[in-house]
Structure 1
């Protein structure tokens, strides 16, 4: 008598997870910061020198720097009367949980970040 065993989907997924965990994982090299060196935020794309150069271009009236600066300062988030609305917890993806009691509020975070980054 020959018995064949059917493999369940769960068994396949477990085996796939084990195989993936055993595979070498390539990680991006992280630049090291020398002790006592200045902190450089990894999310910022502009250096202090870049900002100084752009400020000089705006002051000199060079295009397209002046047009970009005018657009930035016209935004309501860059006005001195903008009031941030800090959130205790940021919720994202609440629409994926229809019975969730927490409404999605991460858009408020984006507004506050934009206002903080404005001149």
Structure 2
């Protein structure tokens, strides 16, 4: 399976924060912006306030997995930034998935199924 393309440059993160649309939910904050490419890119931000390295890495892994599983139903050509919140590492997967799906719907990133 192909690995997701990630956002790594600081200026790209700053641009998403400043000019991207956002959806704030209890377990995750999602920023998005058109990137002019044929594929989506992912950025993940986890603050040190969330906890020690093990907790932060767990939150990162969970957010990356949500993005990976939703790729086939997302519109293409977007930069997506996921910001972990206090609940991200501790809440049940079903709650995290529900919040993430709700954020995608609010931002209009979910592609409609064509019959």
Does TM, normalized by the shorter one, top 0.5? no
Task: Compare CA radii of gyration and give the structure with the larger one.
Answer: 1
TM-score band, normalised by shorter chain: under 0.3
Higher RCO (C-alpha under 8 Å, 6+ residues apart): 2
Question: Which structure has the highest strand share of the two?
Answer: 2
